[in-house]
Amino acid sequence: MSPDVRSVLPQVLNRLETLSAAHACDGEAIEPNRIYVALPDRHLLIENGQVRVTKGPKENRFRPAVDPLFRSAAYSYGSKVIGVILSGALDDGTAGLWTIKHHGGLAIVQDPADAEIPSMPENALREVAVDYSVPVAQMADLLVRLSKEKTAGTSEVNMEDDEKTKIEIGVAAEDSAFESGIMKFGELTPFTCPDCHGVLLKITDGKRARFRCHTGHAYSADSLLATVTENIEDSLYSAMRGVEESIMLLNHIGDHFAEVNQPKLAAMFFKKAKEAQNRAQAVRQVVLTHEQLSSDKLRQQAEDAKSN
């Protein structure tokens, strides 16, 4: 949602007159039978006994983002956490769901065949040892049953992973990523952050790689690919705009020299304007053939090529 629009989700949920729903307030106590809805443009985090509402760096281009929420819940409550991934694009939530499993919690995803947009459930199934994959119609009964079961003990997490998770939660809670020591948990890459152009670190969770810059912005590999290829289009339009500005300026100066009876000089400016116009047409063709990419899109193209 736009950061300028206040969500009406609590009002929609309250029409059911079952559990009370409201936008979360920073520092609010966690109460039973209550739904806490994240505010637009704010991360929703969980600390022991309370919720946090913060404006930390975006993850996967969004704030609120599901990964910091899952990460904070896993860190505070371990095996008592159940993470659920529903319909959605790209792979948001996969990294956070991995952390929930790593801390002994349960991972549930919507059956991709039941999802309007199956990318998020499919990516979670590929990357995380998911406990249950069910249609939405079965989700409520499953959650009620699981919430009544005794949880296993929290999994042992090595000190480095534990510290990394703590620091990343702190970053989402508005701590300085650089001063917190995030740089020691990854290796430098040749990639730059699409948000701030800082160098990206590659951080590994199990076999899964993701990226974070020293100012705190975070990306999965898939969201980074989507953002980089989206920004290429913006850069191409910027290049085309610059070339077209030069055409207008060259023609303007050429007209001036023509008016003061310097036809040879005017002709040279008009010639250069024509050459620039040819370049602009070439850039325009590149813009029109450029495509924004994602892993899901490339998998679909591979499947289509195989079937053909």
- DSSP states along 76-94: HHGGG-EEEE-S-STTTTH
Q: Is the pLDDT of residue 175 over 70?
A: yes
Q: What's the average model confidence in pLDDT over 8-37?
A: 96
What is the predicted pLDDT for the residue at 154?
66
Q: Is the pLDDT of residue 153 over 80?
A: no
Instruction: Give the model's confidence band at 141: pLDDT under 50 very low, under 70 low, under 90 confident, else very high.
Output: very high
Residue with tokens 């310097």: 262
% the chain with pLDDT above 90: 90
Q: What are phi and psi of 195, to 5 degrees?
A: -85, -45
216-229 pLDDT per residue, tens: 999 999 999 999 99
Q: Nearest 5 degrees, angle CA 119-CA 123-CA 126? A: 145
What is the predicted pLDDT for the residue at 155?
73
The answer to whether residues 189 and 211 touch, using CB atoms and an 8 Å cutoff, is: yes
Average of per-residue pLDDT values in the chain: 95
What is the predicted pLDDT for the residue at 147?
93
Q: What's the average model confidence in pLDDT over 2-19?
A: 92
What is the predicted pLDDT for the residue at 228?
95
The answer to whether residues 267 and 259 touch, using CB atoms and an 8 Å cutoff, is: no
Q: Is the pLDDT of residue 93 over 70?
A: yes
Q: Is the pLDDT of residue 81 over 80?
A: yes
Instruction: Give the model's confidence band at 307: pLDDT under 50 very low, under 70 low, under 90 confident, else very high.
Output: confident
Instruction: Give the model's confidence band at 152: pLDDT under 50 very low, under 70 low, under 90 confident, else very high.
Output: confident
pTM of the model: 0.89
Q: What's the average model confidence in pLDDT over 247-275?
A: 97
What is the predicted pLDDT for the residue at 258?
97
102-138 pLDDT per residue, tens: 999 999 999 999 999 999 999 999 999 999 999 999 9
38-51 pLDDT per residue, tens: 999 999 999 999 99
DSSP helix/strand/coil, 135: coil
What is the rounded CA–CA span in Å between residue 29 and residue 261?
Answer: 81
What is the rounded CA–CA span in Å between residue 261 and residue 146?
Answer: 88
